[in-house]
Amino acid sequence: MKISIIGTGYVGLVSGTCFAETGNQVICVDIDENKLQRLRDGKVPIYEPQLDVLFERNIRQGRLKFTNSLKEAVDQTDLIFLALPTPPGEDGSADLSYVLNVAKELGEIISEYKVIVDKSTVPVGTAEKVNTAIQENAKVDFDVVSNPEFLREGFAVEDFLKPDRVVIGTSSERARKVMDELYRPFVRQGNPILFMDEKSAELTKYAANSFLATKISFMNEIANICELLEADVDKVRIGIGSDTRIGKRFLFPGIGYGGSCFPKDVQALIRSSNQVGYDFKILNSVEEVNSIQKTIIVPKIKNYFCGDLSGKRIALWGLAFKPDTDDIREAPSRYIIDELIESGAQISAFDPEAMDNVKAIYSDKINFGANEYEVLENADALLIATEWGVFRNPDFTRVSQLMKEKVIFDGRNLYDLQKMTSLGYRYYSIGRKDV
């Protein structure tokens, strides 16, 4: 099939590359010519495992192309995916200006039947707005489809190529047939393509992410009460996760969620609820809990140093909001850094992929190391903010030799309490006793 992807951000690049990988002809559209040239040269501007290999291969084999001309792409393709940014405003509402502006242009451009697909995460009712915007100038038939993405950063390629479900919102039988043909190769193992109306599809995305965010915040609250009741959150987690109705995933406590999806989608669903006069009490609490959780480890650090962090050297492992990505949007590390700097601490940080993004914000405020051990030299304490694999089994002998004190504040519960005790570390984690 012939596909155009409008927007070359995270969703656009992953979608375009994976569609090309299954034999489709894909044209990606962006207005930034410098970015386009880098893409044509095979340079992926984001870190996502496996993406670079597929990206380079499909460019080389001619299935993946790039242009700054919307008309050129539209004229050559039958399916048009809108993968444009929908940033949240101060009130939590999604900014649809990019989507609707392109929709208006499409109305002027299309000269034959096209299927236009909302791939961006958008509020309920956006498909109607896109349809109206196109209809203003369109002289031919078209259909607008809602097709939300469910990509986990760090696993996006796998999630796209082998989805556990594909959600498609359309009231058009013609569009339904086109979308079914497109996605059939991705669900050969029997996972469902779920067809529904456009509004239900749009809400499904917000509901899914908001539910997962709720699960995380609930577990973080359990962790906090575990500390007060002297229970062990790891044992509680295993105990409730063994119940198949609950499941094991998203039960790991820590310093909160971040990224581009959960915070934005929770906020957007709250906003959508308010617009129709509904007070979504649970989600308001989820947002509040997560805001507190991001810096909940800072008081532990301050208490250890008797309230005075002036001149204390803190080694920070992890900057991305989660492992296997360079994304620092709403990352807990940023909130922690801000509080520690304000308290007079000196920070040396390392992250396998996210340091360049953090340097753009904190280049003159914190130091960076070439590896996880370099930042430990003469450190008064180690703080872990992201559960990268490289941090899970460090050389503790080397760690203790480099640090002034053997003290670790672990925001992701990476280490066994017994082991840390036997190694002689002062160890503080989330929802477990301090050792």
CA distances from 7 to 15, 22, 86, 320, 349 (A): 10, 20, 11, 23, 32
Check residue 93 and give its pLDDT.
Answer: 72
Q: State the Cα–Cα distance between residues 48 and 186, nearest whole angstrom.
A: 20
In whole angstroms, give the CA distance from residue 158 to residue 221. 31
Q: Do domains 205-293 and 298-428 have the same CATH topology?
A: no
Residues 214 and 281: their CA atoms lie apart, in Å, by: 12
Give the alpha-carbon dihedral of 108, 109, 114, 116, to 10 degrees: -70
Least Cα distance to 170 among 202, 133, 135 occurs for 202
Angstrom distance (rounded) from CA 255 to CA 291: 9
SS3 state at 314: strand
pLDDT the model gives residue 19: 97
What pLDDT score does 352 carry? Answer: 96
Which fold, 298-428? Rossmann fold (3.40.50)
Domain limits, the chain: 2-196, 205-293, 298-428
CA–CA distance, 301 with 291 (Å, rounded to integer): 18
Question: Which residues are paired to 183 by β-bridges?
Answer: none
266: nearest Cα among 278, 250, 284: 284
Q: Give me the count of residues in the chain.
A: 435
Rounded CA-CA distance 352/286 in Å is 30
pLDDT of residue 363: 85
DSSP state string for 225-256: HHHHHT--HHHHHHHHHTSTTT-STT---SS-
List phi, psi (to 5°) of 192. -85, 150
pLDDT at site 92:
64
Catalytic residue IDs: 261
SS3 content of the chain, % helix, strand, coil (to 5): 45, 15, 40
pLDDT tens string for the chain (435 positions)?
A: 999 999 999 999 999 999 999 999 999 999 999 999 999 998 999 889 999 999 999 999 999 999 999 999 999 999 999 999 887 776 667 788 899 999 999 999 999 999 999 998 888 999 999 999 999 999 999 999 999 999 998 899 999 999 999 999 999 999 999 999 999 999 998 899 999 999 999 999 999 999 999 999 999 999 999 999 999 999 999 999 999 999 999 999 999 999 988 998 999 899 899 999 999 999 999 999 999 999 999 999 999 999 999 999 999 999 999 999 999 999 999 999 999 999 999 999 999 999 999 999 998 899 999 999 999 999 999 999 999 999 999 999 999 999 999 999 999 999 999 999 999 999 999 999 999
Q: pLDDT at position 120, please?
A: 86
**Is 1.10.1040.10 the CATH number for 205-293?**
yes
How far, in Å, CA of 190 to CA of 324, rounded?
A: 28
The answer regarding whether domain 2-196 maps to CATH 3.40.50.300 reads no
> What's the pLDDT at 86?
83
In the three-class reduction of DSSP (H, G, I as helix; E, B as strand; rest coil), residue 88 is classed as strand
